[in-house]
Structures are given as C-alpha cells and as structure tokens.
Structure 1
Amino acid sequence: MVYALIAGCEAAFWILIAAGLIARYPLGRRRLGTALLALTPVVDLVLLVATALDLRSGGQAGTAHSLAAVYLGFSVAYGRRMVAWADARFAHRFAGGPAPRRLYGREYAIECWKGLPLTFLAVAIAAGLLWALISIAPDPDQVATLTGSFRVLAIILGADTLWTLSYTLWPRTRPGGASWEPPGPGASQPRAQFRP
C-alpha cells in the first residue's frame, strides 16, 4: 500500500504542477494556477499521515516506509526549486519568457553550492521522519530497515558534496569555448536551475 501511495503522491505532485502552470500560462488564470501550485505540499502531508497510520495500525515497517521518508524529505526541500524549474520552461514556452540557459563553469558551480544546503535540509527532514516512524512502530524488531536507511542518507549527502566539489575544482566547460563568460551589459540574471 505504501508503495502505491508514494507512486500516487509523486504523480499527484506533478499533475498539480502541470495543472497550475497550464492555468497560469496558456489559460491566463494566474490565481487558479497559484492555488494549484500551493496545493503541492498537501500531497506530502497526505503521504506522511498515511505512512504513520500504516505503521501505527500494525503495518510491517520496511523499505516502503523508508522510501516514503526519503521522498518526503527531498520533496519538501527541493519542491520549490522544482516548481521554479518547471515555471521557467512554461513561461518561455507560453508567455514569451527568456529561454532557460544551460549553466557552465563558475555559474554552474555556484548553483551546485546553492543546492547543497537543500540536500542537507532534505537529509535532515528524512532523518527526522525516520526517527518519528521508528518511535511509533509497534514492534522494535521491525525497525531494522528503517535504521538502515540512515546509511543511505549519508551516502546521498556525501555524493552531493563530492559532486559539488568536483564541479568547483573541474568546472563544466562551455562547448567550444571557455568555462565561463561574464554577462554582457544589461544581461538579466539567470533563473535558478533545478539539478536533477
């Protein structure tokens, strides 16, 4: 059941984002679009409550519960950035907004450093949720999978830190040119780019 909830919540998250952006841009209904986008945290709340209730009612704590905690942590931490990423592309496609730029060199490294605190936040939220799930699990023998997920969170955090350091030391170069060019006079600042 928890796996189905995670899949359903992930689908609902993107459906709300798509519906909100369609309402905002092609349909020109900004208030409706904003309301739909504002509902995305409700999806996370539904998953959190359902996961807790499943454990509380005697559900076997397992990988699905761990995955739910990790999913919620990253959805809360990165949700706003994902919405901004999608919004920039809809604005370009339907409202004449600037084309999203691919970042290179120092600009890309800066975005990596901006994303690293979000990963710390995501891991902290997921760890807190795991502790909460462990505390309400009816049988202490069930929590081995949940406690094992802390290692996964440490690996995720370490991998993102190494990714950020690697692109700081060895910047991604622009195809056929320098790794970074200063923006010209009057150039607008790039929108924040979501790093998948």
Structure 2
Amino acid sequence: MSLALLGLTAIMVLTSLSVLSNMIKEKLGSLRDPLQVWEVLHAVDILPMRLRAWIFSAIVGFANPYARTINFRITELRKGKACGAMKETKEISNPYRCVHAAALITFGETVGSLALFTLLGKSDRAILTNISAEYVKVSRGLLTASSIVTPIKDREATEVVTHVLIKNASFETVSKLTLTWKVDLKDTF
C-alpha cells in the first residue's frame, strides 16, 4: 500500500470517527433512551458490528460505572428486549473457578435494565428495588443473558417486575434473575 493511500485511508477513518463521536455526544444526553444510542451506532455502516457492540457497551459503562467491572457486550437491543454476552475471566471468577455471583448479578441487572429502559419515556423513571437470583448451574465460559419485558400498559403502575435468563455456551440456564423496579411513569403514549 502506498504512503499516499495509507494517509488518505487514515484521514477517512479519523473523519468518520469524528462524525460518529459527534453523533454519540449528541445522543448521550438521551441515554435514558438506550435504543436511540444503539440505533445511531448501528446506522454507521463503516464500523464493524463487533466494534459497534464494544462502543455501545463502553457507553453503558460510562452511564453505569459499576458495570465496567465486568467485561460484557450488548449484542441485541430492541423495544423491550436486550441480550448480551460475557466471557469468564480471572477477574470475575471466584476461588472455585467459575463466574462469581456478583458478576452474574451485575451482568443480569445491566441487560435487564436496558430491556426495561427501552420502554420508558424521557420523563419516566425506574429504580431497582430488589434483585432475586436463582443459581441453577455452575457458570463457566461464555455466558449470554437475555431479558424480554412486555410493554407497560398500565400507566398508573408503580412497580414493574422483569426477568433475566443467563445461559452458558451449551444453552443451559445457569441463573435466573428477577428484578423489581419502582417506576414513576410520567410520559403518555
């Protein structure tokens, strides 16, 4: 590759990243709507899909610093649905060489909250009041979490319960989480 072509490619990449950075900064003010940030990232076709997932997960980590303690990727986000992946590492393992319960809960809470937040309006609020975790099987290797939340039909609701399933690479359920949220629904649909 010639030096001129390499320079031109570098300029194109830097320009694209600058445009992407400005788009993300513009949308970060509305991180209450994670779906909007997800869609902005996925509208940039020059970025590989894995990089888009990494960038979105980093943004989630900025919004929720505790989520940065685990190495996760959000792999899918739609209205009422979120999925993610987390690989077992030494940092999140317990002395028994499996994923620590706190890492599983952090992973599940992150995925579950994204699924719920996609259904909330800009003025709506939700705060987690209870987490219940059932550990079904020892968790090792690559783990996936998914949460599907049905639309909130009762705008007078003050509590919403959501569920997260965490599975291993063999698609066996390793943990089930139940998240209870106190909600303040102000937006009208």
Which structure features the higher share of strand residues? 2
What is the TM-score of this pair, normalised by structure 1? 0.28
**Looking at both structures, which has the greater relative contact order when contacts are Cα pairs under 8 Å and sequence separation is at least 6?**
1
What is the TM-score of this pair, normalised by structure 2? 0.29
Which structure features the higher share of helix residues? 1
